[in-house]
Structure 1
Amino acid sequence: MGLTTEEILQISLDLVGWDETPADSTVYVPGEDIETALVGIDLESPEIKLAHDEGYDLALAHHPTGMSARLDFPAVLDKQVEFMTDHGVPEDVAEDAVADLKSRMDHGGHSSNYRHDPSVAELLDQPYLNTHLAPDEYGRRVFRDVADEMGADATAGDFVDALAEIPELDAAETDVLLRVGDPDNDLGEVAVHHAAGTNGGASVARAYFDHGVDTVLYIHVGAGDTADLRAEFANEDKNLVVTGHIASDAIGMNAVVDALEDHGVECTTISGCGIGRDD
């Protein structure tokens, strides 16, 4: 007897001990008796059709594509404020730092075709869901463990090297990069800014740096944000470590695949999922 889509979504939440489904995760098309799944970081209309044509019981994506997971996405950005205040950033400063991002995500969701990919799955009667924040939280905890194991005299370069030993990051075609700072800089206090919807850009990193954090970890960052931070903090020994988007997402999604297989669901990984995973 296979699983339902709701049970599969809950399995992803169980990895981090959560009971409530985050705003960026949802079941688009429900299904029952699921015994096989096509699992990827990005599964959109072509991959939904692929799952249908190849006879998979479920298309399981990481990134949200529509409906409430797209329209309500700004709600998960409140995690950014939580992470910043945990590191001593005043709440009003943290809220200001993320305000523009929340507005852009709100406007983007409102203008998006939030029905596109889900409607394809509906037409094909292809069970389809995405789970985003919980797998990212799993990955954040992996990064946090690495940061917490660094010695008091560790450098930014030491941290980059330690992160690169995580199987998914080691196997990836992207590298762990020090986008801002010098490898010989003291590592100092580390803020792992992941599992908050997306990266916080220059404004969030600036808020951390201005309030005593020495090193910020993002999984991806824009070139303009990097340039702004390099110019502003060139002489202040601050560090921005970027681990790589897809490889970092694969950490949590690989854990989801492992959990599903433990429950008897046969998974095929594509679209970045499966990087560095022992089959």
Structure 2
Amino acid sequence: MGLSTEEIMQISLDLVDWDEPPADSTVYVPGEDIESALVGIDLESPEIQLAHDRGYDLALAHHPTGMSARLDFPEVLDTQVEFMTDHGVPESVAEEAVADLRSRMDHGGHSSNYRHDPSVAELLDQPYLNTHLAPDEYGRRVFREVADGLADDATAGEFVDALSDIPELHAAETDVRLRVGDPDNDLGEVAVHHAGGTNGGASVARAYFEHGVDTVLYIHVGAGDTADLREEFGDTGKTLVVTGHIASDAIGMNAVVDALEERGVECDTISGCGIGRDE
């Protein structure tokens, strides 16, 4: 007998010992007796149709596409404040650093067609869910282990090399980049800023750098943010490491796939999921 969508959501949460789905993770169309799944980083209307046409019992996405996972998405930004305060950033400074991001996410969710993809799944009666924050938290812990495993006098370049040995990052067509700083910078205190819904941009990295953090890890960052940070911190010994969006997301989603297959669910991976699973 297969699993329900609720059980599959819980399996993703169990990877990080959580009990409740966060605001960015939702069962859009529930299902029972699930024995096969199409799993991807982004599964939207065409992929939902593909899952239906190919007879998959579930379409399982990483990124949120609709309903509460978009409308309530700003709630997950609380995690970014927690990350910053854990590294000594005052709470008021951390809140200010994410204020613009909160506003943009709120406006974006309010203006988006949050019914588009879920309504297609409903019409097809195709079970459909996404799990976002928990797999990302799994990936964050992997990155944290890499940072913590380096010597006290490690350099930023050595951190990049160690990250590049993670199977998903090693197999990806993208590579780990130093967007700010030089390989011979002292690694120092590392803030792994992943599993906060999205990257924090220049304002969050700035808050870290101004309160004692030497190296910030993002999985993606915009060109404008990079330019601003290079101008402010390029010659200060501070470092911004960017690991690559899809390969980094694949770390957690591959763990979800492994856990599902252990429970007897046959999974096929597309849309970035599955990167590095053969390594």
Partner of 1:188: 188
Q: Counterparts of 1:266 and 1:94 in 2: how far apart (Å)?
A: 42
Partner of 1:59: 59
Question: SS where residue 198 of structure 2 aligns?
Answer: coil
CA-to-partner distance for each residue in 1:6-48, whole Å, 9 max, x for gaps? 0000000000000011000000000000000000000000000
Could you tell me which amino acid in structure 1 is paired with residue 100 of structure 2?
A: D
Partner of 2:264: 264
Structure 1 gap segments, 5+ residues each: none
CA-to-partner distance for each residue in 1:76-133, whole Å, 9 max, x for gaps? 0010000000000000000000000000000000000000000000000000000000
Question: SS where residue 78 of structure 1 aligns?
Answer: helix
Within 5 A, what are the aligned runs for 1:222-233? 222-233=222-233
Could you tell me which amino acid in structure 1 is paired with residue 161 of structure 2?
A: D
CA-to-partner distance for each residue in 1:222-256, whole Å, 9 max, x for gaps? 00000000000122100000000000000000000
Q: Counterparts of 2:88 and 2:40 in 1: how far apart (Å)?
A: 36
Question: SS where residue 52 of structure 2 aligns?
Answer: helix
Partner of 1:255: 255
Partner of 2:205: 205
Question: SS where residue 39 of structure 1 aligns?
Answer: strand
Partner of 1:70: 70
TM-score (norm 1): 0.99
Q: Counterparts of 2:110 and 2:252 in 1: how far apart (Å)?
A: 28
Residue correspondences, number: 279
Structure 2 gap segments, 5+ residues each: none
Q: Counterparts of 1:141 and 1:246 in 2: how far apart (Å)?
A: 17
Q: Counterparts of 1:58 and 1:20 in 2: how far apart (Å)?
A: 21
Q: State the percentage of identical aligned residues.
A: 88
Q: Counterparts of 1:177 and 1:29 in 2: how far apart (Å)?
A: 38
Q: Counterparts of 2:114 and 2:181 in 1: how far apart (Å)?
A: 39
Q: Counterparts of 2:278 and 2:138 in 1: how far apart (Å)?
A: 18
Partner of 1:2: 2
Partner of 1:221: 221
Could you tell me which amino acid in structure 2 is paired with residue 235 of structure 1?
A: D
Could you tell me which amino acid in structure 2 is paired with residue 48 of structure 1?
A: I
How far is 1:153 from its partner? 1.1
Partner of 2:244: 244
Partner of 1:113: 113
Q: Counterparts of 2:15 and 2:153 in 1: how far apart (Å)?
A: 33
Question: SS where residue 66 of structure 1 aligns?
Answer: coil
Q: Counterparts of 1:278 and 1:160 in 2: how far apart (Å)?
A: 22
Within 5 A, what are the aligned runs for 1:33-48? 33-48=33-48
Q: Counterparts of 2:134 and 2:153 in 1: how far apart (Å)?
A: 32
CA-to-partner distance for each residue in 1:194-227, whole Å, 9 max, x for gaps? 0000000000000000000000000000000000
Q: Counterparts of 2:94 and 2:203 in 1: how far apart (Å)?
A: 9
Question: SS where residue 278 of structure 2 aligns?
Answer: coil
Q: Counterparts of 1:195 and 1:278 in 2: how far apart (Å)?
A: 24
Could you tell me which amino acid in structure 2 is paired with residue 153 of structure 1?
A: D
Q: Counterparts of 2:20 and 2:260 in 1: how far apart (Å)?
A: 19
TM-score (norm 2): 0.99
